[in-house]
Structure 1
Amino acid sequence: MADTPNLPAPLDSREQHILENLQQLRAALNLLKQDRTTYVKSSDVMPLHEQVLVEVKKLADIRADKPTEDNQVDRVLDGCFQLLSLFFMTIGRNNEAPAAYALTSTIKRLLDHLIEVDLYSEKDLAHCSQTLERLRHIVKASDASYSPYLTTQLSNRIEVCQISLTTLQERLARLAPELVPIHEKLISILRSLSLANTKAKFSTTEVKGLQAQIQEVDATRVDGKFVSTNGDIPAGNDDVCALLNKGLRWSEMVLERKGVFPEPFNSKYQTLVDIRNKLEKLSLTQAWSLRETDLYDVQRQLDRIDESRTDGNFVDADGNFAELYVQRTLLYLIRRSYGYIYYLMVSSEPVSEALLPVYNQLQTLKRCLLEVKESGGVSSPRELYPYSMKLNSLDNMRVDGKFMVGREIPEGQGSVIELLSECFDLSYDLRVAAENESEKE
């Protein structure tokens, strides 16, 4: 999370010493993050992880009688854990407890925003629920391997997220089944409106088309209410009607502004658009261009903007609150960016970045072989030669059955070898099918 100056400095001199040590460790982690001359290895990360845990143990002993203390030490420690968590993903140790830390931070941000804006569907919650359950299993399985402080803290963070998730699920439960599809459609249209509003080139035609979709839903109401097939007003009618009216007002506002942003907030708007666009690009090229630790600086920048609000509102340099149009647009960009960060984290493969070039080539090869199979296979085994040559060249990279980088055995061997086996199996099946077809002819 962001470094903010409003947290007090530690009063206890022993904590001051811990703060200095943690700041040095965070600086070391930042240096490692910035080094692109080589792959990050477990041997780079684990010593720093152990040193952070030493400071955590000291802090826990000092605070035995004051567990609610919160000062600059906690913020710097959070930064260390965030970085370590992303490093664990980078080296392919996604299924170990430290990797869960960054995800819990992002999920909490996402859920807090959903509670604030009350604009979400069951699909949004289902994925978060599955991820939290997976993190629970990871933390539980790591109990014996990691510091009790870390696993207890992670369990608590997961449960805090679960409380927020349950609140959101209870809100959705108030809708009658027949209103759920209407609710989901309106959510989708509202998001499309917000996306159209923040595009580099504003399209009046696109926005009017979305407005027409809301008007079509509006036309299904009877005397301003949604009515079920038996003539009753279903539960949640007022909520869905409020959402529909919000959509109509928002479409009018977007058409009126045409993407022009007021000067006092334009700098913040441009920063958020740049962050959103950068994350969107990463989400499209993730397999080839993402080092998970790259997300740290982006999320810290986002957190700072999010935390700069006063009573939930953005304010300009003179302390004036943002108008509704500005507020909604900036919040949409923040939520969208956190959504991309979440997607990039959960999509991270449990493979070290040192093995990612091989893993990504195998992923591409598997997709090609599947497409060949689904399109009817090959007419001759000779057509499989390019695939076989590529497969054999990747297989020949192994030393004693393992993919090596220098003298290192990077994490994720199992995932890469399993993928290699799947490709060989697909290639074999295609060759056998082609040979059988040739014999018949």
Structure 2
Amino acid sequence: MTDSPAVRIPLDPREQPILDKLLSIRTDLELLKGDRSTYVKSEDVVALYNQLIEQVAVLNELRTNRRNEQNRVDTVLDDCFQLISLSFLTIGKNHEAPAVYSAISTIKRLLEHLKEAAFFSPKDLESISTSLQKSRDYCERGRESYSPNFLTLLEARIQVCQDILSELELSLSHLTPELRPKYDKLVSILRSLSACNTRSKFPTAEVEDFRQQLVELQESFAAEGVVLLETEGTIDEQLAEMARKLKLSLEHPEPAPDAKNLIATLLSRCFLWIELIKQKQGKIDERFQETYDKLLEIRNKLEKLSLTQAWSLRETDLYSYQRQLDRIDEARVNGNFLDASNVPADLHAQRTLLYLLRKSYAIIYHLIISSEPVSEALLPIYNQLNTLKRCLVEVKKSGGIDSPRELYPYSMKLNSIDNMRVDGKFMVGSDIPDGQGSVTQLLEDCFELLYELRTEAEENQSDSEDDLVAKTEVAAT
């Protein structure tokens, strides 16, 4: 079991029974998560959620005057809520309030890392803003169904994320529509360079290509009065100064930084980062090799998951990755990665490790928001229908078909799926898994596309026959 970082505040003896019960709930949730012999059932997850909320109520009564206390009860409680949240996604209850918890926890980490890295694109913030609004909507919709204590906790966490997001949005508020695409390009290049820096073999040619793109951007910026910043010292010192300036603009956002200064700082930072990673050639300070290898392994596994998500991901699988990342993140001191002697990493190692940490959380965030509102029991059917729909859409885009006969394979497959329903429901044994509406809607979409293609083919065939008859009659006269 991958536990979250330990909190060493003494435990109130009255809270021991709560801790024992929470540990039992967490164990039950982990057993559900790890059992691949069957799918996760809604009634099991909801029952554990109700047990968890009972313990929250007892804890709140004990802590009437100690609302801000944090001890092991709170870390285990957070584990339980993370697992419950991911379990709600697994059973297809994506639009329910408990499903929000894990996404919000991940968003908070992402926002903190974006602020720390001191560069991000408007697109990053737009996606997060949309997710936060959806989370608010789910909380509002769940007022009659879920514990007020739980909803208050969620809304407080959403507000923390919103406050950080507002700071970041303000820092980019002076970007004009003309400058924004170029700024996005700079962010993309800097991230791509960081990715190159983590390759098993340093891609010198690719890095040089990015440097050439920066030169072209620099020339286009010059016409708009944007010039590289001049700083003194080593590359590490200059990069640290660039990051410091960008971070200061986030910490003191009033007034928002001038767009030209923002771009000049980021452009200068890109050139300096290229020089630094070319010197290092993908080699990290050996003091941090173990942390680097661990983060690299997590990122690579998550990237593989993102490629096969529709067919292989059980959302609760993300829990172990979240907890491993949390332990690494929370082991930092004042944002610094420390070695065994508590000596901070150099700037190259610091930025490389932070990139891998942020990238891993970003993939988890993408996997969570991309989760389909369908129980894993129905995912095989849902994925088949999704594939059929994409095929039919492509057939339609490419000009349709010549004969209705060409649709027979699609029609047979759809009919076989439709025949699986019992009284209009897709059953698994005697259970009716969540996500019936999503699967049924997808089935109807496929039948509608099939009907449109068949009708179009029949009309074309009829027109061809009419033309043939007309030509025959002309020939006969």
CA distance in 1, matches of 2:87, 2:165: 27
Match of 1:67 in 2: 67
Q: Does 1:439 align with 2:462?
A: yes
> Displacement of 1:262 after TM fit?
2.4
1:383/1:313 CA distance change after superposition, 3 Å: same
Q: Is the 8 A contact 2:337 2:345 kept in 1?
A: yes
CA distance in 1, matches of 2:33, 2:277: 40
Query: Among 271, 275, 294, which residue is 2:317 paired with?
Result: 294
Q: Is the 8 A contact 1:2 1:303 kept in 2?
A: no
Q: Report the more deviating stretch, 169-178 or 137-146.
A: 169-178
Match of 1:134 in 2: 134
> Displacement of 1:176 after TM fit?
4.5
Bigger radius of gyration: 2
Q: Does 1:285 align with 2:308?
A: yes
Match of 1:384 in 2: 407
CA distance in 2, matches of 1:225, 1:380: 61
Match of 1:242 in 2: 265
CA distance in 2, matches of 1:267, 1:23: 30
- TM-score with structure 1 setting the length: 0.96
Q: Is the 8 A contact 1:365 1:423 kept in 2?
A: yes
Letter in 1 for 2:302: L
Q: SS at 1:293's partner residue?
A: helix
> Displacement of 1:219 after TM fit?
3.1
CA distance in 1, matches of 2:73, 2:343: 33
Give matches, 1:396-415, under 5 Å.
396-415=419-438
Letter in 2 for 1:197: N
Match of 1:231 in 2: none
> Displacement of 1:220 after TM fit?
3.9
Q: SS at 2:179's partner residue?
A: helix
> Displacement of 1:2 after TM fit?
5.3
CA deviations on 1:280-315 (whole Å, 9 max, x unpaired) are: 111111000100000000010011111111111111
Q: Is the 8 A contact 2:6 2:75 kept in 1?
A: no
Letter in 2 for 1:50: N
Letter in 1 for 2:365: Y
Letter in 2 for 1:126: E
CA distance in 2, matches of 1:430, 1:236: 51
1:221/1:429 CA distance change after superposition, 3 Å: closer
1:256/1:223 CA distance change after superposition, 3 Å: farther
Letter in 2 for 1:402: K
Letter in 2 for 1:121: S
CA distance in 1, matches of 2:184, 2:45: 43
Match of 2:369 in 1: 346
Match of 1:230 in 2: none
Query: Where in structure 1 are there 5+ consecutive unaligned residues?
Result: 228-233
Match of 1:183 in 2: 183
- TM-score with structure 2 setting the length: 0.88
> Displacement of 1:222 after TM fit?
4.5
Q: SS at 2:5's partner residue?
A: coil
Q: Is the 8 A contact 1:225 1:241 kept in 2?
A: no
Letter in 2 for 1:67: R
> Displacement of 1:138 after TM fit?
0.5
> Displacement of 1:217 after TM fit?
2.2
Q: Does 1:7 align with 2:8?
A: yes
CA distance in 2, matches of 1:222, 1:415: 52
Match of 2:106 in 1: 106
Letter in 2 for 1:6: V
CA deviations on 1:110-157 (whole Å, 9 max, x unpaired) are: 001111111101000001001100110100010010111111111111
CA deviations on 1:305-363 (whole Å, 9 max, x unpaired) are: 11111111111112221111101110000111110000000000000000000000000
Q: SS at 2:95's partner residue?
A: coil
Q: Percent identity?
A: 54
CA deviations on 1:366-405 (whole Å, 9 max, x unpaired) are: 0000000111111011100000010011111111110000
CA distance in 2, matches of 1:223, 1:96: 51
Match of 2:193 in 1: 193
> Displacement of 1:223 after TM fit?
10
Match of 1:364 in 2: 387
Paired positions, count: 434
CA distance in 2, matches of 1:355, 1:137: 26
Q: Is the 8 A contact 2:7 2:75 kept in 1?
A: no
Q: Report the more deviating stretch, 184-193 or 213-222.
A: 213-222
> Displacement of 1:406 after TM fit?
0.6
> Displacement of 1:174 after TM fit?
3.5
Match of 1:168 in 2: 168
1:224/1:350 CA distance change after superposition, 3 Å: closer
